[in-house]
């Protein structure tokens, strides 16, 4: 009795590229959701730093936020472009470009993954020497990474946050402790009681003298 062998489906390089692209785009979506928590926290840190008068720390938080937003957008656009290339019939001619783009996408995804760590964000508010060193490193990196438009957006956002902080001061900054108030004793009743006691004393003295 012979055994039948089923022919395996031939997976082309184009098929593999399509699959790799889907995996990368799915990971971008996943990191976008995780990174949103970091972006929200960075905005809160910027507002807190402004209220405390630490404008440079606020600026750093907003610059890092702009960098991370740009990283996601650029990666998404790059993957969309690769998706179009993979779908064309000229894939054989574009194969090297697509594969290079995929490898670059993998490296960027690693960078995005690093940016999703909340503990790194908290170092912006830390005054320890180690955190100060981290802040300086990030500032240096962002100086050569952010575009002029992104830098301008950061400054505009910083002005907006500072303006909001002046219009709506933090409740914790101007918190006053309310002392419990006791009801005031009626003065007229106390006066009548005092005068009544005096008259009673006079009567007792008169009776004793007589």
pLDDT digits (tens, 9 = 90+) for 26-62: 887 888 888 888 899 999 999 999 999 999 999 999 9
CA 95: distance to chain centroid?
39
Range 159-184 average pLDDT: 62
Residue 93: the pLDDT is 57
Range 156-162 average pLDDT: 93
More confident residue, 166 or 125: 166
How is residue 147 annotated by DSSP? -
| Sequence-ordered list of residues with C-beta below 8 angstroms from that of 139, at least 6 positions apart, any chain | 60, 63
Both tokens assigned to 59: 């600026």
Pair 132, 18: CB distance under 8 Å: no
Question: CA 8 to CA 110: how far, in whole Å?
Answer: 34
Range 6-32 average pLDDT: 75
Residue 114: the pLDDT is 75
Query: What's the number of CA atoms in the CB half-sphere (13 Å) around residue 81?
Result: 14
Both tokens assigned to 26: 């799915």
């Amino acid at each position: 009795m012979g055994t039948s062998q089923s022919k395996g489906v031939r997976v082309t390089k184009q098929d593999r590229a399509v699959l790799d692209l889907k995996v990368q785009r799915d990971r971008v979506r996943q990191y976008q959701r995780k990174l949103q928590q970091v972006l929200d926290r960075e905005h809160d840190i910027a507002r807190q730093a402004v209220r405390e008068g630490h404008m440079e720390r606020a600026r750093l938080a907003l610059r890092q936020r702009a960098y991370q937003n740009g990283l996601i957008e650029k990666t998404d656009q790059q993957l969309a472009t690769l998706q179009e290339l993979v779908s064309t019939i000229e894939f054989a001619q574009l194969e090297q470009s697509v594969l290079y783009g995929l490898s670059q996408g993998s490296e960027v995804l690693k960078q995005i993954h690093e940016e999703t760590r909340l503990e790194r964000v908290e170092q912006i508010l830390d005054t320890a020497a180690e955190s100060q060193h981290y802040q300086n490193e990030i500032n240096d990196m962002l100086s050569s990474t952010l575009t002029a438009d992104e830098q301008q957006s950061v400054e505009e956002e910083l002005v907006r946050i500072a303006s909001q902080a002046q219009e709506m001061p933090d409740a914790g900054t101007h918190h006053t402790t309310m002392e419990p108030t006791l009801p005031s004793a009626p003065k007229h009743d106390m006066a009548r009681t005092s005068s009544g006691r005096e008259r009673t004393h006079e009567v007792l003295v008169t009776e004793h003298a007589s």
